[in-house]
Amino acid sequence: MRRREFLSLVGAAAAFPVLARAQDGIQDRMPSVGVLTGNVAGDPGAQMRVDAFQQGLADLGWVANQNYRLEVRWPGPNPARQQLEALELVAAGPDVLFATSTGATRALRDATQRIPIVFVGLSDPVGTGLVANLARPDGNLTGFSLYEHSMSGKWLSLLKDMVPDLSHAAVLFNPESAPYAPYYLQAARQMENRLGIKVTGASVRSGAEIIAAIDAVARIGSGIVVLPDGGFFAAQSGIAIPLLAQRRVPAIYAVRFYAVNGGLMSYGADLTQQFRDGASYVDRILRGAEIRALPVQFATKFDLVINMKAANALGLSVPSRLLMEAELIE
């Protein structure tokens, strides 16, 4: 081999170390990516987002089972199950780990401080103790965060716009899968006087407790703000959303998926886009980038979605201002 060709190969190996290991004789294997979700298998919204992540990698040249291996685990929101699946993923020795909720990220962080972890869809990664420095992460985690706590005030305000005579609202959350919920609840309560709404917390840990919370809210004519919760509500939404309609309880969600599937309204960032963004960070790590060079990023674009069928069923007249701002689902 001529000297120039040799130097070119050395340069490529230095720039893309994971690729180089996969192509030389040092490690006869493809790079691998392990995904730990906060959802259960069969969740259509979660599957769509994981597909978007995989497509994002494909757009960057990574084709599953051709030049990298992809393993996806679906433990659901149960912390013990997430910890077990995280340990199994780490034991397989992937080059990068990808987490889709606060609980999943925490489980992977506890399982390894060596393998790079890219997260998406988190709320307050600093407040939950996952990262200390957003601009230059100094551990093995970085990624993309969706919301800050003040967003709960925006959700309440939109719900009040939709239901002007609303005087009570419950903030629904699972304390296990949404450890950041107290901050959201505090921010919501700071809006009570401004909006004329009494805010309470509705802590739920099971489908039965969701049903009981909805029934309690219905008895006092309250509305509901469903916090982002790392996949817990998604597993119960097939029961909860029809029950909210039956009990005539207006609710607002952080994720568009719920409004599209029968919920009254949602306001939030494009979670699917964050999965594509996460793919870009995984790509950069596979090509040699270090975590500290990849700052934690926050969503900047938020969309309002209103399900007109749900609004009509509740007897609500959508204000013209919201009609102009929202994506309307007929």
Q: What is the CATH number of the domain that holds 47?
A: 3.40.50.2300
Domain that holds residue 159: 151-269+303-329
In a shared domain, residues 82 and 166: no
Total domain count, the chain: 2
What count of other Cβ atoms lies within 10 Å of the Cβ of residue 204? 22
For 148-173, letters b (16+ CB in 10 Å) and e give bbebbbbbbbbbbbbbeebeebbbbb
How far is 291 from 279, CA to CA, in rounded Å? 14
Whole-angstrom distance, CA of residue 214 vs CA of residue 203 = 11
Instruction: For residues 258 and 274, state if they share a domain.
Output: no
State the pLDDT at residue 3.
40
Q: Is 275 found in the same domain as 264?
A: no
In terms of domains, do 75 and 116 share one? Answer: yes
Tell me: do 108 and 50 sit in the same domain. Answer: yes
Low-confidence ranges of the chain (pLDDT < 50): 1-17, 20-27
> Between 151-162 and 181-189, two packed helices, what is the crossing angle to 10 degrees?
50
Gap between the Cα atoms of 133 and 13, Å rounded: 30
pLDDT, tens only, 215-262: 999 999 999 999 987 778 888 899 999 999 999 999 999 989 899 999
Q: How far apart are CA 92 and CA 112, in angstroms?
A: 12
Q: According to the model, what pLDDT value does residue 302 have?
A: 92
pLDDT of residue 292: 92
Q: What is the pTM of this model?
A: 0.81
Q: Identify whether residues 125 and 139 lie together within a single domain.
A: yes
pLDDT of residue 18: 53
- pLDDT for 8 equals 38
Residue 49 and residue 104 in contact, taking contact as beta carbons nearer than 8 Å: no
What is the predicted pLDDT for the residue at 5? Answer: 39
Q: Which residues contact 313 (CB under 8 A, 6 or more apart)?
A: 245
Nearest to 143 by CA among 183, 109, 176: 109
